[in-house]
Amino acid sequence: MQKTILITGSTDGIGFQTAKRLISEGHNVLIHGRSEEKVKKVVEELSLLSNGGTIDSFVADLSNMSDVKALANVVKESYSKLDALINNAGVYKVSEVKTKDNLDVRFVVNTIAPYLLTKELMPLLDTSSRVVNLSSAAQAPVNINAIKKVIPMSNGEAYAQSKLALTMWSTLLGLKLKGKGPLIVSVNPKSLLGSKMVKAAYGIDGGDLSIGADILCRAALSDEFANANGKYFDNDIAEFAQAHSEALDEVKCKKVIEAIEEVLLELV
């Protein structure tokens, strides 16, 4: 059955490979990127693979919450339902840590933006829809204050904390919405795949990106994820697993969401 799926960060890496897979299978795919030129080029390339589905495209800078809101609004104006939202976009190594709003860009893009986009698109996400959040095996205890302001830390520390924070809100919100809203699941697509992020961070080519695309497609569409509300799938071991222990701490998960909401209240 043809599905309509929005993939953030789909102009390269795992997001692009996922888009290629879904388009070749005949689904309607909504492409997102930060560069208008890059988005246009990718759409032209993906059009050659179309198998009965449609391709739509959107440009937004996910480090800017106004852009995230605008992206959600234009999607809502154009569509009445999304079958899946794949929050794939993420950053690791950045040239400038601080956003124009004096927030840590790594937490903004990896944690806050996908939360806001998911929240804003809720009118299009019913109980048959799925939200797939790109997590990571790199997870570290979250400093709540780092969500609200820039705190000195390495790219690795910020990445691991921001990905755990993403996993934490996915867990709590996924369980809360079970039976009442979209299924929300977080997925580690497999460590050290050959994305631009991995090459920049570690200076290695990395593994086959199609491995990551495969698990994201399965998470968005397959029956094996039908009851994955609030769960974490670790593709390093190819099964559902326990994320970092903080993701099981409901009080800490609530604090993460409260911190995100506090930031959004000031910005949006």
Dihedral, 4, 82, 240, 156 alpha carbons, nearest 10? 100
Q: Between 243 and 205, where is the model more confident?
A: 243
Q: 72 is written with which tokens?
A: 């959600």
75-123 pLDDT, tens per residue? 999 999 999 999 999 999 998 999 999 999 999 999 999 999 999 999 9
The alpha carbon of 255 is separated from its chain's Cα centroid by a whole number of angstroms, namely 20
Q: Look up the pTM and report it.
A: 0.96
For residue 64, what pLDDT is reported? 96
Arithmetic mean of pLDDT, 191-204: 70
Sequence-ordered list of residues with C-beta below 8 angstroms from that of 100, at least 6 positions apart, any chain: 64
Arithmetic mean of pLDDT, 176-194: 92
Arithmetic mean of pLDDT, 246-255: 96
CA torsion through residues 64, 89, 16, 82, sign: negative
Residue type, position 210, single letter: S
Provide the pLDDT confidence category of residue 198 given band limits of 50, 70 and 90. Answer: low
Provide the pLDDT confidence category of residue 201 given band limits of 50, 70 and 90. Answer: low
- Spell out the domains of the chain, with CATH numbers in brackets: 4-267 (3.40.50.720)
**Three-state SS for 48?**
coil
Asked if pLDDT for residue 196 goes beyond 90, the answer is no
Provide the pLDDT confidence category of residue 268 given band limits of 50, 70 and 90. Answer: low
Among 63-67, 93-97, 247-251, the range scoring the smallest mean pLDDT is 93-97
